[in-house]
């Protein structure tokens, strides 16, 4: 048995868990649940990536904040959204140019790489 907190797993994989324990309790999980969560996370990333690429290509270039507000503001935290953008940059799908850094974080312009 592997013992991890439910919130820790939800943060790690960015999805709600099908376990009916309270947030502060510790959920006991078998080793089969974690690969399933990883698979779900990969499928979700692919879905997000497609939508974001379409939006970026349609606009040419767009600020990260505007892109977030147009697409996944209702279902993703901005932190998780930022991780998806970073991953897309690492894969070479988009380019990012930082235009300002402030107390609220950085604001960038994102372009599709041709």
Q: Which domains does the chain have, with CATH numbers?
A: 2-112 (1.10.10.10)
Q: Is the pTM of this model over 0.75?
A: no
Q: How confident is the model at residue 23 (pLDDT cuts 50, 70, 90)?
A: very low
Sequence-ordered list of residues with C-beta below 8 angstroms from that of 88, at least 6 positions apart, any chain: 49, 52, 53, 94
Residue 100: per-residue pLDDT: 85
The pLDDT of residue 27 is above 70: no
Mean pLDDT throughout 79-102? 88
Q: How confident is the model at residue 102 (pLDDT cuts 50, 70, 90)?
A: confident
């Amino acid at each position: 048995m592997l013992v991890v907190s439910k919130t820790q797993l939800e943060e790690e994989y960015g999805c709600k868990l099908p376990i009916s324990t309270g947030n502060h309790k510790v959920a006991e999980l078998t080793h089969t649940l974690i690969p399933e969560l990883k698979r779900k996370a990969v499928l979700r990333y692919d879905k997000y990536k497609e939508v974001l690429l379409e939006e970026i290509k349609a606009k040419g270039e767009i600020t990260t904040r505007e892109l977030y507000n147009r697409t996944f503001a209702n279902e993703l935290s901005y932190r998780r959204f930022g991780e998806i953008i970073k991953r897309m940059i690492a894969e070479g799908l988009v380019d990012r140019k930082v235009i300002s850094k402030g107390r609220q974080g950085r604001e960038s312009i994102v372009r599709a790489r041709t």
